[in-house]
Structure formats: structure tokens, C-alpha cells
A and B are shown apart, each in its own frame.
Chain A
């Protein structure tokens, strides 16, 4: 159970548990992740296998996949994200309540993969703050389970109380996430550099 240790044996015997609020909240969060399965192409099949009985992520408390972003806190982008879909994907992320995390599953969502093309977003980190990247084409379900375990380790290091009292943008080292910035900046810093409109109508040519 990691950081949730009984303080004294006396209190323990009386049925009390003394711990840090952060540790308790993080423990609750990390062991009941509710994934939002965004299966965009072939990786979605492996994602279904992961949720099914053979691989069984219920063992790690993340089996309650919901198809409404309002009920989820873990967005798993599984598949090739096209620019046509990008707006919808970001809207789904925006609709999820805080706190929320993102796993980019497969090389397509991590980097664009083999689709080095005008139509495909070259990595969902262009539009979303990604917590864990899973390589593979497609990654095996166990690789995604490993990503969930890594994400649990990451959640353990966060300071929810600090966020509560000091506001967003001041998460602890290693736990900083871009969506804690004001809206628009997450994208701006990721890809576009500055948020000043580019002169003329065209975008930047990729090199």
C-alpha cells in the first residue's frame, strides 16, 4: 500500500489510521482510475482485450471503462488521431472532470507512427498533455497495464492539497502537467511556439 502506513501500533489497534491527506487522496485516486477508451483504430482492439477477462485490469482498479467523458479520469487515446478527429478528442478531454490523466497508447498516438502525413496528428501531445506513452504497434495489453502501473506511481507523487490551497500550476516536481496552465497555452507551448497569430492564412510548413 506504499505510503499508507499506520502511525503507531496503539492507534492502529484502536482502529485509527494516521496518515497524510495527500497520501490518502492519492491512494484513492490511483486505485480507482476510470478509463475513457478512445479507440480510434487498430489499437482499440488491444484496449478491449485489456479490459476483458483475460488481462483483467480490474486487478489494478481501472476496469470501469465509461463511454461518457463526464464519468472518467483517464483518457486512453488508442489509435491514429487524424486532424479531423483532433477537435473532438480535445473536447472529450476538456469534458472530463479534474483530476485527469492521459495515456497515449501505440506509436500512432505517441508520434504519428508510420502515418507521416498531412492528415494525421503527429503525436497527441500536440493537443493534449500526455502522462504516459506506450510504444508498440499495437502495444500488447500487458504493456498498457504497465503504463497504468506507471501512471499510478506518478499519481502517488502528486500533491492534491497543494493544488487545493495554492491553485493549479504549482504541482510538485515530476508531477507538473501542462493542462494546469491557462487555456490555450498547453497547445501553444507544445507545438506552435508562441500564441501570436501567424501572418496570412497559412500554417507552418513541416520540415
Chain B
């Protein structure tokens, strides 16, 4: 039974869409409000014990441009069935939000934090949604397409640090 078959058996018709990506991995697309139901189904009914990664793609510009949105992408691995699945959900450029899945796969916590750091996608319900790679308080999200190629220096943040240090001197 393929991954798609298991999902189709467990989920109501019309709550997700099966798509054929170029690399041949089974993939389903959902809307942000249907994400939680699909994720619970993957975890509890379809045997996907492992979340491999969470990332996002900015599809508003560049070679992958289709429409102005971020495409949050999840990939899962089932050890029991020996297969993988990819889940894709599109969110708008302004105020991008998806529900967290950290309660279902605890290891996802850092992936979601990184995705928040790099793309500014808010994972609602995440227990500790802080930046992972960039300093706390940085104003920008570096992997967005509108972020300049060579970066933006954290001037404002630096001033804050200096003020903090001066106060303790």
C-alpha cells in the first residue's frame, strides 16, 4: 500500500490534493487550515514516525516563481512501510502562519525555529519559537527573496547591545 493510498483511506475526500512533483516523491498539498488534520492522520494512522525536515520556499521570485507565497514543505519517513511523503502548504507573503507540529513530532522543534528564522513563518502553538541561527532581535529573514544577496548588518541590534553593555559598566 503506497503512502498516498494510506492517506486516501484515512482522510476525507477533498481535504487534500495529490500532486506529482518532478522528482517522483509522493506529495500532497493542503490548505493551512487543513494542515493539522492531515498531520495527525500522518502521525497516527499512516505510520510516519519521523519528520525529516521542515523548510519553506519563497515562490514569489526567482527560478521557482509561481505566485506570491511561501510554500512550507514537510517531509516524513515511515520506517514501518519504508516510504516517504512530502506535504506542501502555501501561505501568503504577509503574515505567514501555519499550525505547529512539534507536539506530534518533538524533533521538529528546531526545524520550525530555523524556518521561522529564515523565512519569518510563524508556527502557531510552538512552545519556544525563537530564532535559531540569527541573533535574537534581528529584523530580517535572510532566505526571503526580497532580502539582499549579501545581507543586512544588524546595526540597530548592535546599538542595543552596546547600550546594554554601557548600562552594566
Contact surface of A with B, Cβ cutoff 8 Å: 82-84, 86-87, 90-91, 94, 116-119, 127, 183-184, 187, 191-192, 195, 197-198, 201-206
Contact = CB atoms under 8 A, between A and B. Distances in A.
A83 B155 CA distance: 11
A195 B162 CA distance: 11
Contact of A206 (B142, B153, B159, B166): B153
B43 interface: no
B138 interface: yes
A90 B156 CA distance: 16
A119 B133 contact: yes
B135 A206 contact: no
A197 B160 CA distance: 10
B135 A84 contact: yes
B153 A183 contact: no
Contact of A83 (B134, B150, B165, B169): B134
B152 A202 contact: yes
B21 interface: no
Q: Which size class do B's interface residues fall under?
A: 20 to 34
B96 to A, nearest CB: 19
A119 B156 contact: no
Contacts, number: 75
Contact of A119 (B134, B139, B155): B134
B107 interface: no
Given A83-B134, A84-B134, A118 B158 contact: no
B118 to A, nearest CB: 10
Decide if the interface of chain B is mainly helix, strand, loop or mixed.
Answer: loop
Contact of A118 (B152, B157, B166, B169): B152
B154 A203 contact: yes
Contact of B156 (A82, A187, A203, A205): A203
A69 to B, nearest CB: 14
Given A94-B165, A197-B159, A83 B148 contact: no
| Interface-centre pick from A90, A118, A205, A206 (highest chain B CB count, 10 A) | A118
Interface string B121-140: 00000000000011100111
Give the top 3 A-B pairs by smallest Cβ distance, nearest first.
Answer: A118-B151, A203-B155, A183-B166
B153 A195 contact: no
A195 B165 contact: no
Nearest to B167: A183
A118 B135 CA distance: 11
A117 B133 CA distance: 13
B51 to A, nearest CB: 25
Contacts of B138: 83
Given A86-B135, A94-B165, A201-B139, A118 B155 contact: no
